[in-house]
Chain A
Amino acid sequence: MTSDDVAIHAQGLHKSFGDLEVLKSVDLTVRTGEVVVIMGPSGAGKTTLLRCLNLLEEPDAGSITVRGRTVNCAGPRHSRNRRRLIRDIRVRTAMVFQQFNLFPHMTALQNVIEGPIHVRRLPRPYAIEVGERLLARVGLTDKRDEHPARLSGGQKQRVAIARALAMEPEVILFDEPTSALDPELRAEVLQAIKNLAAHGMTMVIVTHEIAFAREVADRVVFMDKGYILEEQSPSVFFSNPANTRIRSFLRLMSDSGPHPELEEAS
């Protein structure tokens, strides 16, 4: 595996909030073009891991490498160079949030071109052209000039996906992209993500959607209590999991859908 094949390499990540140790030495490597699905019970640290990969949260220890650029979390905290490096990594690792987090004062298109114009410094006409193409790609051409308040949850999340794509990131990180959606709106978002997978987009996806994960994942990572317990191909993971924790987790998931309060009890 040459370094060119690696989109993200995270090594020895630790993260605590006060006394609570949420990540306890996590290593994760994501190859270019790979779709990694992260599963695990509530509180396992899945969101925290994603946020650390984007450096929205700074790990207490460990290192993160994106396209040959490494941030070492033990280094000095507030230098100018470090801030620039962190921004650089954030540009390359786009986030799609559970709550969408679209900018409410901007239209769908403005949301999509905000990063290209004000972070990537692309010329406005070009950004608009790309933005329109991306909205078309998620099936929202006709919503171009609507504000988020006028969009359904599924449409909002698809705008958020277009906004992520507009950064031309190395990898897109999804944190439960369908959890805030009514069941009947989930399919359109999952379909949009599957389309990205078909086009070879590198993605890390936290999700509870088992059927979706089975279909889209190249690898399933199971997290529990701040550790990665298992990394498997989806066929093995779902059909023949070695670990009893995973077996009981899957049983609960298929019985009752995502029920965080039940999962913790297992």
Chain B
Amino acid sequence: MDLLAQSVPILLKGMAITIFLGVTSFVLGFWLGGLIALARISRFALLKALAIVYVSVFRGTPLLIQIMLVYFGLPQLGIQLSPVPSAILTFTLYSAAYLSENFRGGILAVEKGQWEAAGSMGMTYSRTLRRVVFPQALRIATPAIGNRFIALMKDTSLASVVTVVELTRVAESVGSSTFRYVEAFVVAGAVYWLINSVLSVGQELLERRMGRAYA
């Protein structure tokens, strides 16, 4: 137990990196996903096609391959990224694909009458999106977006394969240096679970608040 107790600081550090990876990629992916959703519903065929291909590629290939491709492949093209930025880049691109579909679903679920009410008073397309459609779409998509966040938190464990010293990698090294694999991975798993429990509660509160907002 002593050996494991000694590992607490490094486990905490791993947890911090995991949270950093998850939150940063989620925030960046949120905005990128928004832009992709806009392209997807745009009336410009080229933008629309690009968005469709983007989503299809990033959803249709394993995240692990994307991670390795970015980390090991980009240097071949002369782009050298250290492990953490390269992982964040991949997670951002990957979650943007999913989030864009959540946004699109939310936008499509907004009643046609809302577009018409805004349009009939001479509101421009972009202003209608910002003032009328997005606020409602976001509310509709909140549960799906929350689930995405939680899934992403777990997906960050794949960053361990490109030497990012996040929770999973820490657990692995603690396990191999102490030969207490069971404890190391159970603790790491418990920490993921804890982080996501906090996120779930946050999601719950947010959904409840959004439910009240219209009344």
Contacts and interface: CB of A to CB of B under 8 A. Distances in A.
B131 interface: yes
B120 A99 contact: no
Contacts of B121: 90-91, 94-95, 114-115, 119, 163, 167
Interface in A42-74: 54, 56
Interface in A96-149: 97, 99, 101-105, 114-115, 118-119, 147-149
Interface residues of B, number: 21
Q: What is the predominant secondary structure among interface residues of chain A facing chain B?
A: mixed
B123 interface: yes
Given A114-B131, A147-B215, A119 B123 contact: yes
Q: A interface, how many residues as a size bin?
A: 20 to 34
A99 B116 CA distance: 11
Nearest to A57: B116
Contact of A105 (B118, B119, B127, B213): B213
Contacts of B114: 101, 103
Contact of A54 (B120, B123, B139): B120
A101 B116 contact: yes
A191 to B, nearest CB: 23
B90 to A, nearest CB: 35
A97 B214 contact: no
Q: Which of B121, B124, B135, B136 has the most CB of A within 10 A?
A: B121
A87 B124 contact: yes
Given A101-B114, A118-B127, A88 B122 contact: yes
A37 to B, nearest CB: 20
A150 interface: yes
14 contacts: A56-B120, A89-B122, A90-B119, A95-B117, A97-B117, A103-B114, A103-B118, A114-B121, A114-B131, A115-B121, A119-B121, A119-B123, A149-B214, A167-B121
Interface of A: 54, 56, 87-91, 93-95, 97, 99, 101-105, 114-115, 118-119, 147-150, 163, 167
Interface of B: 111, 113-114, 116-124, 127, 131-132, 135-136, 139, 213-215
Given A103-B114, A105-B213, 13 more contacts: A87-B122, A94-B120, A101-B117, A103-B118, A104-B214, A105-B214, A115-B121, A118-B127, A118-B131, A147-B213, A147-B214, A149-B214, A150-B215
9 closest Cβ contacts across the A-B interface? Answer: A91-B122, A101-B117, A101-B113, A95-B120, A90-B122, A87-B122, A115-B121, A105-B135, A149-B215
